[in-house]
Amino acid sequence: MPTSDPVAFLKTVSVFKDLAEPHLVALALRLRERVLKKGEVLFREGDKGDELYLIREGTVVISKPVLGRVEQVLARMGPGDFFGEMSLFDQAPRSATVQAETTALLLCLDRESLHQFIEISPRAAAAFFFQMVQVFTTRLRESGNLVAEVTRWGLEATGLDFETKPSR
């Protein structure tokens, strides 16, 4: 890890904001460091996974393949952001591809380490999960808005006019 305090960094991550310092210290001990070079792919949609990643430094791009080699960028994330949380809970394959936009320093929390944290600090884990639900809700709303927008674009592309009432 960089010379700066990992606990101070964790305080900047939204899902850990309500954790007391001793819990942050316990969590910091369970995190592994991962460095990505600019352009390096961390994982692709469909890969197995069981880790959440915290971005300590740099930026990553999260995307989904659309057609052939065309990818839709879903998000750009930087320091203090996190991703990969779905695989901590559902054990399903990765839902998107993550690639380093710049050199990036990530901290990884795997499922086993999360379970250990839950056993040692159930109250802190409850605070973490409450914040995680807040993030899930926000991301779900954004996804719903994107689906509506894409649907509207598709309908507009067909030339159909839905403003006109059908004749009887």
pLDDT in tens, 23-45: 999 999 999 999 999 999 999 99
pTM of the predicted structure, to 2 decimals: 0.80
CATH number at 32-111: 2.60.120.10
pLDDT digits (tens, 9 = 90+) for 42-97: 999 999 999 999 999 999 999 998 888 888 898 999 999 999 998 888 889 999 99
Can you give the C-alpha Rg of the chain in angstroms? 19
Residue with tokens 């901590």: 88
Q: Where are the domains of the chain?
A: 1-30+119-156, 32-111
| HSE, side-chain direction, 13 A CA sphere, residue 120 | 14
Task: Read off the tokens for 91.
Answer: 């054990």
**What's residue 150's pLDDT?**
73
| DSSP code of residue 162 | T
CA distances for 2 relative to 58, 105, 158, angstroms: 13, 9, 53
pLDDT digits (tens, 9 = 90+) for 81-139: 999 998 888 889 999 999 999 999 999 999 999 999 999 989 898 989 888 888 888 87
